[in-house]
């Protein structure tokens, strides 16, 4: 099936992994939603916390066709992340209905949540999908996860997909080995990325109505790396002793053998954030449901290629769904 997918070749002037990664920040995309309708969805968590996830449902004129596509953002993202907006516009242009899901405490869900999502909080995704209106999921679901949302998606597929009408899934630049990705951020070349990511994480984590102890606030403010943020706050706040047990419990790589849904995994071997070894060393042939496509270039959720202004991962998603008759 991989031969049916387009090949990635970088588009000038976005040469190299960093320009590919930063392109959407340097040149903000302005997708055309072509008259699509928009409706806010409130999706309460089932854990008695009172927290509520938020989705943005968009339908093309005429209501749309085929399975509902749910887009799951990455670390520090939301429904307004550039890759979310661009992918939604492409899917709507194909006549597909789309939900851009804001995970617990992200985007417009921040004001409705006292806690936050993490890399393995798959119960939230299960709860959100279960509450989608029946008429929306009558033809099934296609799930697409970007970056950290891709890790969550892959773990979810192994744990809960059998109880949902998921027909296909796609992960884009997923850090399937969380510890390896966190260690990669410690490299001097990634300092500018870490500065921006931590600034955003700290702002969102401290925003009202987050329920934090004074020691947790100090841990958030004192973190100087993604590893320290996870080791001092995310891990302990969610029941793990620190970063290492949190990563070990939630890395998608350990769940890949259990996935029973056709799943496309897109990743660039030059991703500046995620080491390629997690992908190149996995025995993919042991699970026929998994289709890994490892591009030599593309950066992290970049994939700005020649010959088509659509990101390569969106073109692959369209071809993958077409190959499945969806």
3-class secondary structure for the chain?
CHHHCCCCCECCCCCHHHHHHHHHHHCCCCCCCCCCEEEEEEEECCCCCCCEEEEEEEECCCCCCCCEEEEECCCCCCCCCHHHHHHHHHHHHCCCCEEEEECCCCHHHHHHCCCCCCCCCHHHHHHHHHCCCHHHCCCCEEEEEECHHHHHHHHHHHHHHHHCCEEEEEEECCCCCHHHHHHHCCCHHHHHHHHHHHHHHHHHHHCCCCCCCHHHHHHHHHCCCHHHHHHHHHHHHCCCCCHHHHHHHHCHHHHHHHCCCCEEEEEECCCCCCCCHHHHCCCHHHCCCEEEEEECCCCCCCCCECCCCCCHHHHHHHHHHHHCCC
Q: In the annotation, is 300 catalytic?
A: yes
Mean pLDDT, the chain, rounded, equals 96
Q: Per residue in 239-280, pLDDT tens?
A: 999 999 999 999 999 999 999 999 999 999 999 999 999 999
* pLDDT number for residue 2: 66
Given pLDDT bands bounded at 50, 70 and 90, which one contains residue 64? confident
* pLDDT number for residue 34: 81
pLDDT at 4 over 80: no
Question: Cα dihedral sign for 70, 71, 74, 80?
Answer: negative
Percent of the chain with pLDDT over 70: 99
* pLDDT number for residue 72: 98
Q: Of 206, 199, 205, 203, which Cα lies nearest the Cα of 224?
A: 199
* pLDDT number for residue 153: 98
pLDDT at 1 over 70: no
Catalytic residue among 127, 230, 271, 314: 271
Q: In the annotation, is 281 catalytic?
A: no
Given pLDDT bands bounded at 50, 70 and 90, which one contains residue 25? confident
List domains and CATH numbers for the chain: 2-177+252-323 (3.40.50.1820), 178-250 (no CATH)
* pLDDT number for residue 307: 87
Give CA torsion, residues 148, 151, 153, 155, to 10 deg. -140
Tell me the CB-side half-sphere exposure of residue 125, using CA atoms within 13 A.
31
Of the candidate ranges 2-16, 110-124, 244-258, the one whose mean pLDDT is the lowest: 2-16
Q: In the annotation, is 147 catalytic?
A: yes
Percent of the chain with pLDDT over 90: 92
Summarize the confidence of residues 108-117 as an average pLDDT. 97
Summarize the confidence of residues 179-202 as an average pLDDT. 96
* pLDDT number for residue 106: 97
Catalytic residue among 73, 118, 300, 313: 300
Q: Per residue in 191-204, pLDDT tens?
A: 999 999 999 999 99
Catalytic residue among 78, 87, 115, 147: 147
């Amino acid at each position: 099936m991989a031969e049916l997918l387009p090949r990635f070749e970088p588009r000038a002037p976005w040469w190299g992994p960093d320009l590919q990664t930063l392109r959407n920040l340097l040149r903000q995309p302005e997708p055309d939603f072509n008259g699509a309708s928009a409706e806010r969805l409130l999706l309460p968590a089932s854990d008695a916390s009172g927290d509520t996830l938020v989705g943005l449902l968009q339908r093309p004129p005429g209501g749309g066709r085929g399975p509902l596509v749910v887009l799951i953002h990455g670390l520090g993202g939301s429904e307004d992340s550039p890759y979310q907006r661009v992918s939604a516009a492409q899917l709507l242009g194909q006549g597909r209905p789309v939900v851009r899901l804001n995970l617990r405490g992200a985007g417009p869900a921040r004001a409705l949540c006292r806690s936050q999502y993490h890399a393995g909080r798959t119960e939230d995704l299960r709860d959100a999908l279960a509450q989608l209106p029946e008429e929306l999921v009558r033809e099934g679901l296609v799930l697409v996860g970007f970056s950290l949302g891709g890790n969550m998606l892959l773990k979810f597929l192994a744990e809960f997909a059998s109880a949902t009408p998921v027909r296909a899934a796609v992960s884009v630049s997923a850090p399937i080995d969380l510890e390896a990705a966190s260690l990669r951020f410690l490299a001097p070349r990634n300092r500018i990325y870490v500065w921006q990511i931590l600034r955003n994480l700290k702002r969102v984590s401290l925003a009202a109505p987050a329920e934090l102890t004074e020691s947790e606030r100090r841990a958030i403010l004192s973190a100087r790396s993604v590893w320290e943020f996870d080791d001092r706050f995310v891990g302990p706040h969610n029941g793990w002793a620190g970063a290492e047990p949190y990563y070990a419990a939630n890395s998608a790589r350990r769940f890949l053998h259990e996935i029973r849904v056709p799943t496309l995994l897109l990743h660039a071997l030059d991703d500046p954030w995620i080491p390629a070894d997690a992908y190149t060393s996995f025995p993919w042939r042991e699970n026929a449901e998994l289709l890994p496509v490892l591009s030599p270039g593309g950066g992290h959720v970049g994939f700005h290629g020649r010959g088509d202004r659509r990101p390569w991962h969106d073109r692959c998603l369209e071809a993958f769904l077409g190959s499945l008759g969806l």
